[in-house]
Amino acid sequence: MKQLPINILLTLATCRLTSSETVGPTPTPLAPVSSLPTNTKSVHLTGDNKIENVELLNPVNLSLECIWTGNQNKQPNITGYWRKGGMEIQDSRVPVDPENQQYTLQRVFNIVSEEHLGNYTCVFENEAELDFILAVPQIGERREKPIVSYVGDFVVLTCKMEDNKPVPRTWNWFKNNGTNKEQLFEAQRYDITVNGRSAKLKVKDVSEADSGVYHCAAVYNISTSTSKMHLKVITIWEPLKPFLSILVEVVILVTAILIYERSHSKKKEAEANGPNADPKNTQPQGEDEEAEESTSVRQRKT
Amino acid sequence: MANGKLKSQSQGDGAEGPDGGWGWVLVVAMFVSTSLVFGLMRSLGIFFVEFVQYFEESAQAISWISSIGLAAQQFFSPLGAALCNAYNARLVVMTGGFLSGLGLILASQATCLVHLYLSMGVLSGLGWGLVFTPMVATVMANFTRRRALAVGLGFSSIGLSSFAFNPLFLLLVETYTWRGALLILGGLSLNIMACGALIRPECLSKASTKVDSQSRSSQPDLLQRVSSYLEVSLLCERPYLTYALGVTLLNFGYFVPYFHLVAHSRQVGFSEYRAAFIMSAAGITDIFGRIASGWFSDLGRFRVVHLLTLWSFLAGVFIMLLPVSSLTRSYTVMIVISLLYGFCSGALTSMVFAVVPMIMGVERMMGGLGLLQLIESCAGLLGTPLSGWLRDMTGNYTASFVVAGSFVLLGSLTMTTLPHYFSCAEPPPPQRPVLVDNSETLNLELVQKDGCSPEFNHQTAEQRER
């Protein structure tokens, strides 16, 4: 008799387990809509087609509102609808009546995960429209030029989220391996340091295989924001080439200058000795300067 | 005979002295070597960011590298001058070029900050010290009437190379990182050796005259020799001391705008780009000022000391006007004052060096310049921290600029106390008494054989025949 409640409990437990297994491949159960916080973004259309950037980190009920002041036509009613990613959202067409000479279009969006982010457009048919770009905070500084390092040296790759942007939950580092990204973890050659807003990846004892594209990812609840950088590994031979060519140029210059001066001074001494030459003097203009000197000294003494 | 010898020497310094010819080749050599010394030093800021990132040290620790380099260059200047007096300028400049290149090459292999201090700071600084003063003195010895123009042309390279080197260094650092860039810069610095090779051994080789005059005493005291090479005797002469004091005061204020103008402009409210442009404007007119003042002073209308006083007075006034003009908050006014300041400061640089042979004579110029560099280095080192301290005390740069300008004005006033200041004609340059007698004129002539101009030989031959 005592076994029955236990059996019921066990059955209930297994039922629960099996029921959660058979639900399907959704990653996480969606939080109930009512428990999400609500944000509102309200924008006035001023005539120029504007873009409004909205930064989101957490799942939220986002209420987007477009207010248009109308034009000379003063039409009684206009159709308004919403687009996501350029395609019209189904059942979003509503007639809009002017209130105090303003047309208002408003809709609440349930933004929970990455596929809900993107480009939302509110459209007043044939009149005006505005884009809302929903995204995670983007990493500001992007290094366009490749980071260079030498074989055997170490290199530090850094990513920093600007101070006016929210702190990510964590950071991840990836390296491009062929067509896919491979995540890097703390290992013998990799040192990963995460400090709230900034993350550093230190690659030690770099080799040419470490060249490639690296990604740093700032993880937020709703999605991740990535930035990529290019690491280029070169050998010492690269700068050695211009260095050696400069060295050769210096040696050539110095030798040329010294040779030129030698020949020039020999010519000058030939000229100097010419008019002063004693008829008895048959000393050839040789390389031996001292011999020349002693000869001319002998001349002067007489 | 002794009088005749002296006369031929003075004629060498006077109107019949060397002017042009090979001297212009030396001006080119000075142009290249000065740009590789000072232009390089001024553009080392590019490496600053790289070092801070790689070595993970504070900005102050990294900035010591360039401070040590500059201090070494100025400290070893008398050594360079003395070695030139002892041996010959060509050897010294080539050694200096080699050392400065070696220092940078070793720096490219550095693994810690101390390596950089020793290689890029001390070794390269030593090399630069051995290059700068001998090169300037050699160029000045090779010109008489066109001296200031030659020096001005040589110095104009500093401004030009600062412009050219900044983007070049940036490119090198981006392509090869700082290690490769330093290696290549070391190679470039070796070109100074080619500049040094262009120096021909002098006619009046100082070492020989010294050795001969001292060979009379059997064993010249080493200390005596060293002190004569270093021209320590100059320190006991009033004109030189006055001049050194004036230049020191000038140096207190001279560098301040270069360090603080950009920060001051930013504080006044101009954007980064505009503030940097104010500095560039001063740099451009600096180049023109050097050449123009050299050319103008060589016209001979005014005495060099008077021109020096004029330019330094104007520079002091404009330094003082800089913070005043920023009160108007007008960008054009600041640009104009900065252009004028740049012109005057460049102009006074040429004059500072051109006056030196007037005060101490051409033979002692080498040692005198070396000592001068050493003395003014103290002022240069103290001047900027002083103005920085004033800024921290008062909260803005007005006080530091005004103080700097007043130092420059004081320096120009000190110049007026030089002897014979108020005479219109140039007084004869002081002669270094050379003790010679019959037996030694012979030795002198032997030495003069090395690459001497034929005119000199004829002159001495004439003396002999009298």
Which positions in chain A touch B202 (Cβ < 8 Å)? none
| Cα gap B160→B291, rounded to integer Å | 12
* Among B381, B384, B385, CA closest to B67: B381
Please state which architecture CATH assigns to domain A33-135: Sandwich (2.60)
Q: Output the six-digit token pair for B383.
A: 């001047």
Which residue among B187, B198, B449 sits closest to A243, beta carbon to beta carbon?
Answer: B187
Mean pLDDT of chain B: 78
- pLDDT band at residue A14, thresholds of 50, 70 and 90? low
Distance from CA of B74 to the nearest CA of A (A): 26
- pLDDT band at residue B16, thresholds of 50, 70 and 90? very low
Strands A103-111 vs A190-195: parallel, antiparallel or unpaired: unpaired
ipTM confidence score: 0.71
Handedness of CA B369, B370, B375, B381 (dihedral sign): positive
Q: Where do the structural domains in chain A lie, given as residue ranges?
A: 33-135, 147-234
| Cα gap A229→A147, rounded to integer Å | 8
Distance from CA of A297 to the nearest CA of B (A): 8
- pLDDT band at residue A42, thresholds of 50, 70 and 90? confident
- In this structure, of A99-108, A167-176, A288-297, B18-27, the range with the lowest mean pLDDT score is A288-297
| Cα gap B205→B444, rounded to integer Å | 9
Residue A268 sits at the chain B interface (C-beta within 8 Å) = yes
Convert the pLDDT of each residue in B61-86 to its tens digit. Answer: 777 888 788 888 888 988 888 888 88
- pLDDT band at residue A5, thresholds of 50, 70 and 90? low
pLDDT at B116: 92
When pLDDT is averaged across residues A235-261 and rounded to a whole number, the result is 92
Q: Output the six-digit token pair for A217.
A: 């990812």
Q: Which residue has the higher pLDDT, A122 or A280?
A: A122
pLDDT at A45: 79
Listed ranges A43-47, A72-76, B316-320; the one with the highest mean pLDDT: B316-320
| Cα gap A31→A37, rounded to integer Å | 11
3-state DSSP helix/strand/coil % of chain B, to nearest 5: 80, 0, 20
When pLDDT is averaged across residues A265-270 and rounded to a whole number, the result is 80
- pLDDT band at residue A114, thresholds of 50, 70 and 90? confident
pLDDT at A276: 56
Under 8 Å between Cβ of B189 and B40: yes
| Cα gap B307→B300, rounded to integer Å | 11
Under 8 Å between Cβ of B339 and B281: yes
Under 8 Å between Cβ of B50 and B108: no
Q: What part of B 237-296 touches A (C-beta under 8 Å)?
A: none
Angle (deg, nearest 10), helices B256-268 and B365-394 = 20
Q: Which residue has the higher pLDDT, B429 or B321?
A: B321
- Taking 80 as the threshold, does the pLDDT of residue A18 lie above it? no
pLDDT at B41: 83
Handedness of CA B91, B92, B97, B99 (dihedral sign): positive
Q: Which stretch of DSSP H or E encloses residue B132?
A: helix B124-141
Q: Which residue has the higher pLDDT, B92 or B231?
A: B92
Residue B181 sits at the chain A interface (C-beta within 8 Å) = yes
- pLDDT band at residue B421, thresholds of 50, 70 and 90? confident
pLDDT at B207: 43
pLDDT at A11: 58
Strands A87-88 vs A60-68: parallel, antiparallel or unpaired: unpaired
- Taking 60 as the threshold, does the pLDDT of residue B464 lie above it? no
When pLDDT is averaged across residues A196-208 and rounded to a whole number, the result is 89
Under 8 Å between Cβ of B236 and B368: no
pLDDT at A20: 46
- In this structure, of A21-30, A110-119, B18-27, B165-174, the range with the lowest mean pLDDT score is A21-30
- Taking 50 as the threshold, does the pLDDT of residue B105 lie above it? yes
Convert the pLDDT of each residue in B107-157 to its tens digit. Answer: 999 989 999 999 999 999 999 999 998 898 888 888 888 888 888 888 888
Does A296 sit within 8 Å of B180, measured CB to CB? no
Does B200 sit within 8 Å of A238, measured CB to CB? no
Under 8 Å between Cβ of B69 and B121: yes
> Exposed, middle or buried by CB within 10 Å (0-12, 13-18, 19+), for A233?
buried
Residue range A147-234 forms a domain whose CATH class is mainly beta
- In this structure, of A201-210, A229-238, B447-456, the range with the lowest mean pLDDT score is B447-456
- Gyration radius of chain B's alpha carbons: 23
| Same fold: A33-135 with A147-234 | yes
Closest chain A residue to B192 measured between Cα atoms? A250
Distance from CA of B293 to the nearest CA of A (A): 32
Q: Which residue has the higher pLDDT, B395 or A85?
A: A85
pLDDT at B227: 72
pLDDT at B441: 41
Closest chain B residue to A265 measured between Cα atoms? B451
Q: Which stretch of DSSP H or E encloses residue A80?
A: strand A78-84
- Taking 80 as the threshold, does the pLDDT of residue B56 lie above it? yes
- pLDDT band at residue B317, thresholds of 50, 70 and 90? very high
pLDDT at A292: 41
| Cα gap B316→A149, rounded to integer Å | 47
Residue B203 sits at the chain A interface (C-beta within 8 Å) = no
Does A289 sit within 8 Å of B449, measured CB to CB? yes
Does B176 sit within 8 Å of A239, measured CB to CB? yes
pLDDT at B204: 37
* Among A271, A258, A265, CA closest to A289: A265
When pLDDT is averaged across residues A79-100 and rounded to a whole number, the result is 84
* Among A173, A275, A273, CA closest to A231: A173
Q: Which residue has the higher pLDDT, A200 or B231?
A: A200
Q: Output the six-digit token pair for A26.
A: 């959704």
Residue B174 sits at the chain A interface (C-beta within 8 Å) = yes
How is residue A102 annotated by DSSP? B
Q: Which residues contact B457 (CB under 8 A, 6 or more apart)?
A: A272, B445, B448
| Cα gap B13→A12, rounded to integer Å | 115
Handedness of CA B319, B324, B329, B330 (dihedral sign): negative
Q: How far apart, in Å, do the first and last CA atoms of chain A sit? A: 148
Distance from CA of A266 to the nearest CA of B (A): 9
Q: Output the six-digit token pair for B291.
A: 């050449």
- pLDDT band at residue B415, thresholds of 50, 70 and 90? confident
pLDDT at A253: 92
When pLDDT is averaged across residues A200-218 and rounded to a whole number, the result is 90
Does A239 sit within 8 Å of B184, measured CB to CB? yes
Question: In chain B, what percentage of residues exceed pLDDT 70?
Answer: 82
pLDDT at B202: 61
| Cα gap B341→B282, rounded to integer Å | 7
When pLDDT is averaged across residues A148-171 and rounded to a whole number, the result is 88
- In this structure, of A241-250, A259-268, B310-319, the range with the lowest mean pLDDT score is A259-268
Residue B451 sits at the chain A interface (C-beta within 8 Å) = yes
| Cα gap B54→A253, rounded to integer Å | 36
Question: In chain B, what percentage of residues exceed pLDDT 90?
Answer: 18
Q: Which residues contact B264 (CB under 8 A, 6 or more apart)?
A: B322, B323, B326, B396, B397, B401
Q: Which residue has the higher pLDDT, B297 or A21?
A: B297
pLDDT at A32: 55
Domains in chain B, start-ordered, CATH in brackets? 20-201 (1.20.1250.20), 230-419 (1.20.1250.20)
Convert the pLDDT of each residue in B183-205 to its tens digit. Answer: 999 999 999 999 999 888 764 34
Under 8 Å between Cβ of A222 and A59: yes
pLDDT at B429: 61
- pLDDT band at residue B47, thresholds of 50, 70 and 90? confident
The pTM of the whole model exceeds 0.80: no
- Taking 80 as the threshold, does the pLDDT of residue A266 lie above it? yes
Q: Which residues contact B392 (CB under 8 A, 6 or more apart)?
A: none
Q: What part of B 423-442 touches A (C-beta under 8 Å)?
A: 442
pLDDT at A49: 64
pLDDT at B188: 94
* Among B240, B264, B304, CA closest to B400: B264
Q: Which residue has the higher pLDDT, B45 or A240?
A: A240
Closest chain A residue to B449 measured between Cα atoms? A293
pLDDT at B179: 92
- Taking 50 as the threshold, does the pLDDT of residue A67 lie above it? yes
Which positions in chain B touch A198 (Cβ < 8 Å)? none
